[in-house]
């Protein structure tokens, strides 16, 4: 028996109780508090070796030669691989196959993988990697995205005509609008990191027949499988993926990291290969949130009603496209916020540079835009003398409105209610007397006892698309099996949809219990032996995989009732709990009684289609669903030192229907924290293409001392088009929290603060 | 080198330990105890917190050789038999676990806090847990869990 059998399948779990609308405990909760849950970095195998990655020190360089001779001589080393060892097509990428699995002749960002080493100890492998001799010819780099489209800018990809990844135009209404009140601003958003705690890691086990099994932490097993197969030159049946325990994701696991590398080493050595990034490597091992430069102008009536809006948004995509195209799509179609605007002129662009590649992170293109449109909305409110809450309520979308792409908002759009709801939540008490320094800016550093501290309040609203957009075939697959075990009906739900901590497996159980009337629901390990579940991103899994599980349960129920009807020679049967009842209400059998043979159904489920937008006007039904949230932040600012303490961060969000209310609140609180982090502290500092702070010492995320209490008000306006009325939950709080915090700091300091994260020197100088 | 130490009450030894290995690596890769986590391996996140002779430490910052002859308690040693420690139970019940990667460290820090201070105020909880990073929860439900565990522990 190999040890992988005990360490690779963490999510098989059954649980009792908990229908839709309840908040049952997570089925993996006990495993996670006892240390038994097998994360991707916990896997091991008897005879495994360790893989490490050698990465480029340069943002842009030609590789003249690579000499692996010395590295191979290190005792304990079993393989050193470069691009020359890639058996298939050396190209990966979510939207464009523009990314080599291993650099082939050129490196385009600092940290790009160049070579792989396998050895019997990770330190041996690291030391051997340092003996790989790479002869680089450093090339001119384009590191300022604002210059990336200049005629004389170096090309990041020599095969392309320019450094443009995608440009999107939205044109609507009056092409030359005027308005009595005009406000404008420029805004800049720094590069944020997902900073999931579980490092990129996994175990690749060769099957001895030229194929491989990969256990890995990811957000979408099937898109990984497709990419790994292309590089290995193998068909999907020979590259099997199983989801290992995922230590957070937040978008950072949409792209491949060590997946292909571990498989290459495993197939080359014939041994199981474990890879696990240290934190500094993790900062180079996944894409980040795009830094953005935004120029906005609002025209409005004297009463503050929007007449027109213009926006020019530039995203730095870094060296490879990743999901930059879709981020541009979101920035463009959603970048003016949840407002009614008659005339619109938006240009959104994403460009290649020699900076770190940027791609998906929670909020996906809307986060950056929200800082700009919410700052400008405050500016407009002040200019026309309307309250900052009321100006949002006045201009906020309502159900039935058209958004800026001409799409009808065909379910609830309670912008006014959300912003007024957060306004009406209790405020934290005004500071009086001696205060606990831990509640003041600077905290235990004891930098103030209240002198120089000013309080400010800020508001923000947002909306975000749910699910994949612009015509993407966005589906999920669910297999549900119902059988009798020891006389009790037991359901098994099998999807490939990634559980990354959000609680999808709990929801899958709740749906099965509700639809099939069973108590026991086993969650099958997530793997590629069932059809794709689509990505765990875009706040989509409860909606789309939830929809698939619901549909599969309905198919199982139909089959069971058909079988019961034949066996019992009765018609008009239905399932009531775990009983089969006749039309009269008479119980004719227990569910387990008709399960001599298991019933299993597999269903592929799709939400309503979306459509590409018109390339000239940007008009079209690009998105399937919109989710709305509002935040109110209260901050204390030490105006002498520029230190900020967030005192309260309260929110209201419409979730359609809360299938698991506790999990919904957990998502909202966690998402709010990430938005606050971007407003105040989180930035990957990149200078001339070099990352300056790849560590948790220098890249700060909010601690429990930084976070304030958070009141969460959940509204439930069911979406009639979605399964159970659900609306995606995960992303909106990350979008509206940061702008509310920034607004509160502006209110406290009177400073314009047109860049985030806001640093002390922005406040004091 | 060989190291001998007591882990969760059991005498353990490991051979062929490289001198540069951390206690965290030895626990995870040599002693079959991966519950202590490797989120940053530089003493910033607290996910690898264990007790060394009863004192919480970041096991990533302790050389494996420094644990020679000493007593180590890991998250795997918190529960007695099948019964979860009240701190573990509270984290499960209060929704303080999402991805769970930070959880072992939070459990160790929380249990240590409650042993020193059975009835901590919110600022005291926040200060005691400030060395543990969580990226999923925003900490609200972790605070709920600590308060609940304190209430149970005092009973």
The pLDDT assigned to A146 comes to 98
Domain limits of chain B? 3-77, 86-154
Q: What is the CATH number of the domain that holds A123?
A: 3.90.1170.50
Give per-residue burial for A687-719: e unless 16+ CB within 10 Å, then b. eebbbebbebeebbbbbbbbbbebbbbbbbbbb
Q: CA-CA distance, B3 to A745, in Å (whole number)?
A: 53
Q: Verify that A540 and A458 share a domain, yes or no.
A: no
State which CATH number among 1.10.357.10, 1.10.10.10, 3.40.50.300, 1.10.150.120 fits the domain covering B86-154. Answer: 1.10.150.120
The pLDDT assigned to A142 comes to 98
Mean pLDDT across the stretch B20-33? 98
Mean pLDDT across the stretch A429-434? 87
Whether B75 and A439 lie within 8 Å, measured CB to CB: no
Q: CA-CA distance, B30 to B5, in Å (whole number)?
A: 12
Residue A193 domain-assigned (yes or no) = no
The verdict on B98 touching A (C-beta cutoff 8 Å) is: yes
Q: How far is B149 from chain A, CA to nearest CA, in Å?
A: 14
Residues 6+ apart with CB under 8 A from B34: A7, A35, A38, A39, A41, A42, A44, B27, B28
Determine what percent of chain A is predicted with pLDDT higher than 70: 98
Q: Verify that A348 and A418 share a domain, yes or no.
A: yes
Q: Is the pTM of this model over 0.90?
A: yes
Q: Verify that A486 and A465 share a domain, yes or no.
A: no
Q: What pLDDT, in 10s, does the model give residues B63-80?
A: 999 999 999 999 999 998
Domain region containing A534: 475-606
Whether A33 and B107 lie within 8 Å, measured CB to CB: yes
Q: Verify that A314 and A343 share a domain, yes or no.
A: yes
- Give the pLDDT band (50/70/90) at residue A432: confident
Residue A173 domain-assigned (yes or no) = no
Does the pLDDT of residue A3 top 50, yes or no?
Answer: no
Mean pLDDT across the stretch A16-43? 95
Q: Verify that A443 and A580 share a domain, yes or no.
A: no
Q: What are phi and psi of A454, to 5 degrees?
A: -125, 140
Q: Verify that A573 and A640 share a domain, yes or no.
A: no
Q: What pLDDT, in 10s, does the model give residues A532-574?
A: 999 999 999 999 999 999 999 999 999 999 999 999 999 999 9
Mean pLDDT across the stretch A579-602? 95
Q: Verify that A240 and A379 share a domain, yes or no.
A: no
CATH of domain B3-77: 3.10.20.30
Mean pLDDT across the stretch A326-336? 98
Q: Among the residues of chain B, which ranges form H helices?
A: 23-25, 86-93, 103-116, 122-128, 140-154
The chain-wide mean pLDDT, for chain B, equals 97
Does the pLDDT of residue A8 top 70, yes or no?
Answer: no
- Give the pLDDT band (50/70/90) at residue A434: confident
Helix or strand holding residue A285 (H, E): helix A279-285
Determine what percent of chain B is predicted with pLDDT higher than 90: 96
Q: How far is A229 from chain B, CA to nearest CA, in Å?
A: 28
Does the pLDDT of residue A210 top 90, yes or no?
Answer: yes
- Return the structure tokens found at A546: 């939830």
- The more confident residue out of A648 and A12 is A648
B99 → chain A, closest CA residue = A501
- Give the pLDDT band (50/70/90) at residue A730: very high
Q: What is the CATH number of the domain that holds A402?
A: 3.30.365.10
Whether B103 and A696 lie within 8 Å, measured CB to CB: no
Whether B99 and A196 lie within 8 Å, measured CB to CB: yes
Does the pLDDT of residue A83 top 80, yes or no?
Answer: yes
Q: Verify that A239 and A342 share a domain, yes or no.
A: no
DSSP states of A387-429:
-HHHHHHHHB--TT-B-TTS-B--S---HHHHHHHHHHSPPPP
Candidates A32, A279, A709; nearest CB to B41: A279
Cβ atoms within 10 A of the Cβ of A469, count? 24
The pLDDT assigned to B121 comes to 97
Instruction: Please report the sign of the dihedral spanned by the C-alpha atoms of residue A91, residue A92, residue A93, residue A94.
Output: positive
Mean pLDDT across the stretch A675-695? 98
Whether B98 and A501 lie within 8 Å, measured CB to CB: yes
Whether A247 and B37 lie within 8 Å, measured CB to CB: yes
Determine what percent of chain B is predicted with pLDDT higher than 70: 99
Q: CA-CA distance, A389 to B120, in Å (whole number)?
A: 38
Q: Verify that A576 and A487 share a domain, yes or no.
A: yes
∠ CA A375-A377-A380, nearest 5°, is: 115
Does the pLDDT of residue A304 top 60, yes or no?
Answer: yes
Whether A41 and B38 lie within 8 Å, measured CB to CB: yes
Residue A599 domain-assigned (yes or no) = yes
Residues 6+ apart with CB under 8 A from A139: A60, A61, A62, A106, A154
The pLDDT assigned to A6 comes to 32
Q: Verify that A577 and A685 share a domain, yes or no.
A: no
The verdict on B1 touching A (C-beta cutoff 8 Å) is: no
- Give the pLDDT band (50/70/90) at residue A7: very low
- The more confident residue out of B82 and A202 is A202
Q: What pLDDT, in 10s, does the model give residues A88-125?
A: 999 999 999 999 999 999 999 999 999 999 999 999 99
A96-110, A431-445, A497-511, A613-627: lowest mean pLDDT where?
A431-445
Q: Which B positions 24-83 lie with beta carbon below 8 A of chain A?
A: 28-29, 33-42, 44-45, 47, 74-76, 78-79
A504: three-class secondary structure by DSSP: helix
Q: Verify that A548 and A678 share a domain, yes or no.
A: no
Does the pLDDT of residue A15 top 80, yes or no?
Answer: no
Beta partners for B4?
B13
The domain tally of chain A equals 3
Does the pLDDT of residue A155 top 50, yes or no?
Answer: yes
Q: Give the ipTM.
A: 0.99
Whether A30 and B127 lie within 8 Å, measured CB to CB: no
Closest C-alpha among A280, A118, A283 to residue A203: A118
The overall longest dimension of chain A from CA atoms, in Å, is 84
Q: Verify that A446 and A517 share a domain, yes or no.
A: no
- Give the pLDDT band (50/70/90) at residue A16: low
Q: CA-CA distance, A510 to A248, in Å (whole number)?
A: 22
Does the pLDDT of residue A697 top 80, yes or no?
Answer: yes
- Give the pLDDT band (50/70/90) at residue B153: confident
Residue pairs between chains A and B whose CB atoms are closer than 8 Å: 182
A197 → chain B, closest CA residue = B39
- Give the pLDDT band (50/70/90) at residue A2: very low
């Amino acid at each position: 028996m190999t040890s992988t059998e005990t360490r690779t399948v963490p999510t098989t779990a059954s649980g009792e109780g908990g229908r839709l609308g309840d908040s049952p405990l997570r089925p993996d909760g006990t495993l996670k508090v006892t240390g038994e849950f097998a994360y991707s970095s916990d896997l091991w195998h008897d005879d495994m070796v360790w893989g490490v990655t050698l990465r480029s020190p340069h943002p842009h360089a030609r590789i003249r030669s690579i000499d692996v001779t010395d590295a191979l001589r290190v005792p304990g080393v079993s393989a050193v691989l470069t691009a020359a060892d890639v058996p298939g097509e050396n190209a990966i990428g979510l939207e464009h196959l523009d990314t080599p699995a291993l650099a082939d002749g050129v490196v385009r960002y600092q940290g790009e993988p160049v070579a792989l080493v396998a050895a019997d100890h990770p330190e041996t492998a690291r030391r051997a990697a340092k003996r790989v001799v790479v002869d680089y010819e450093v090339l001119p780099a384009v590191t300022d995205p604002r210059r990336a489209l200049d005629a004389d800018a170096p090309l990041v990809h020599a095969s392309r005509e320019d450094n443009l990844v995608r440009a999107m135009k939205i044109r609507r209404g009056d092409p030359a609008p005027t308005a009595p009140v005009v406000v404008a601003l420029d805004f800049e958003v720094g590069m944020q990191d997902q900073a999931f705690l579980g490092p990129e890691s996994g175990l690749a086990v060769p099957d001895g027949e030229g194929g491989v099994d990969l256990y890995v932490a990811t957000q979408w097993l099937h898109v990984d499988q497709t990419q790994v197969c292309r590089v290995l030159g193998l068909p999907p049946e020979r590259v099997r993926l199983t989801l290992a325990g995922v230590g957070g994701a937040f978008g950072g696991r949409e792209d491949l990291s060590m997946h292909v590398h571990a498989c290459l080493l495993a197939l080359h050595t014939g041994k199981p290969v474990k890879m696990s990034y240290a934190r500094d490597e993790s900062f180079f091992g996944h894409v980040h949130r795009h830094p953005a430069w935004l120029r906005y102008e609002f025209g409005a009536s004297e009463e503050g009603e929007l007449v027109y809006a213009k926006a020019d948004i530039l995203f730095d995509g870094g060296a490879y496209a990743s999901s930059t195209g879709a981020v541009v799509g979101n920035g463009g179609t959603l970048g003016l916020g949840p407002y009614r605007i008659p005339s619109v002129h938006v240009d959104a662009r994403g460009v290649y540079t020699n900076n770190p590649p940027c791609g998906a992170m929670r909020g996906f293109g809307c986060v950056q835009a929200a800082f700009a449109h919410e700052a400008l909305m405050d500016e407009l409110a002040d200019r026309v003398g309307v309250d900052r809450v009321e100006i949002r309520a006045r201009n906020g979308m309502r159900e039935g409105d058209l958004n800026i792409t001409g799409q009808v908002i065909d379910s609830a759009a309670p912008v006014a209610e959300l912003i007024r709801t957060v306004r009406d939540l209790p405020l934290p008490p005004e500071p009086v007397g001696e205060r606990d320094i831990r509640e003041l800016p600077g905290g235990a550093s004891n930098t103030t006892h209240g002198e120089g501290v000013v309080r400010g309040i800020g508001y923000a609203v947002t909306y975000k698309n749910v699910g994949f957009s612009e015509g993407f075939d966005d589906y999920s697959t669910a297999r549900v099996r119902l059988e009798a075990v020891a006389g009790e009906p037991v359901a098994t739900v099998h999807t490939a949809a990634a559980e990354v901590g959000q609680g999808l497996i709990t929801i899958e159980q709740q749906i099965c219990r509700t639809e099939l009337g069973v108590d026991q629901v086993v969650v099958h390990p997530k793997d590629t032996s069932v059809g794709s579940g689509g990505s765990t991103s875009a706040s989509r899994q409860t909606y789309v995989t939830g929809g698939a599980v619901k549909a599969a349960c309905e198919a199982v129920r139909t089959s069971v009732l058909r079988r019961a009807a034949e066996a019992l020679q009765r018609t008009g049967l239905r399932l009531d709990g775990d009983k089969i009842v006749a039309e009269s209400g008479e119980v004719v059998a227990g569910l387990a009684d008709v399960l001599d043979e298991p019933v299993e159904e597999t269903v592929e489920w799709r939400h309503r289609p979306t459509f590409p937008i018109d390339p000239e006007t940007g008009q079209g039904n690009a998105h399937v669903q919109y989710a709305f949230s509002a935040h109110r932040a209260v901050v204390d600012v030490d105006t002498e030192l520029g230190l900020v303490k967030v005192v309260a961060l309260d929110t209201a969000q419409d979730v359609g229907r809360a299938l698991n209310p506790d999990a919904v609140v957990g998502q909202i609180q966690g998402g709010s924290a990430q938005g606050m982090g971007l407003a105040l502290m989180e930035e990957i500092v990149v200078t001339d293409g070099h990352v300056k702070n790849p560590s948790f010492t220098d890249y700060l995320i909010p601690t429990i001392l930084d976070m304030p209490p958070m009141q969460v008000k959940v509204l439930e306006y069911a979406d009639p088009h979605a399964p159970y009325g659900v609306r995606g939950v995960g992303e909106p709080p990350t979008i509206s929290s940061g702008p509310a915090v920034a607004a509160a700091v502006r209110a406290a300091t009177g400073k314009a603060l047109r860049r985030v994260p806001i640093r002390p020197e922005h406040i004091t100088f | 080198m060989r190291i001998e130490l007591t882990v969760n009450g059991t005498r353990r030894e490991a051979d062929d330990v490289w001198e540069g290995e951390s206690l965290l690596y030895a626990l995870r890769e040599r002693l079959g105890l991966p519950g202590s986590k490797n989120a940053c391996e530089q003493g910033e996140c607290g996910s690898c917190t264990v007790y060394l002779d009863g004192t919480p430490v970041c096991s990533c910052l302790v050389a494996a050789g420094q644990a020679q002859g000493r007593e180590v308690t890991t998250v795997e040693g918190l529960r007695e038999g099948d019964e979860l420690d009240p701190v573990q139970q509270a984290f499960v019940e209060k929704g303080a676990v999402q991805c769970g990667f930070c959880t072992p460290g939070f459990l160790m820090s929380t249990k240590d806090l409650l042993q020193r201070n059975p009835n901590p105020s919110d600022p005291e909880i926040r200060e005691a847990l400030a060395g543990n990073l969580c990226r999923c929860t925003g900490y609200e439900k972790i605070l709920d869990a600590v308060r609940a565990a304190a209430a149970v522990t005092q009973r």
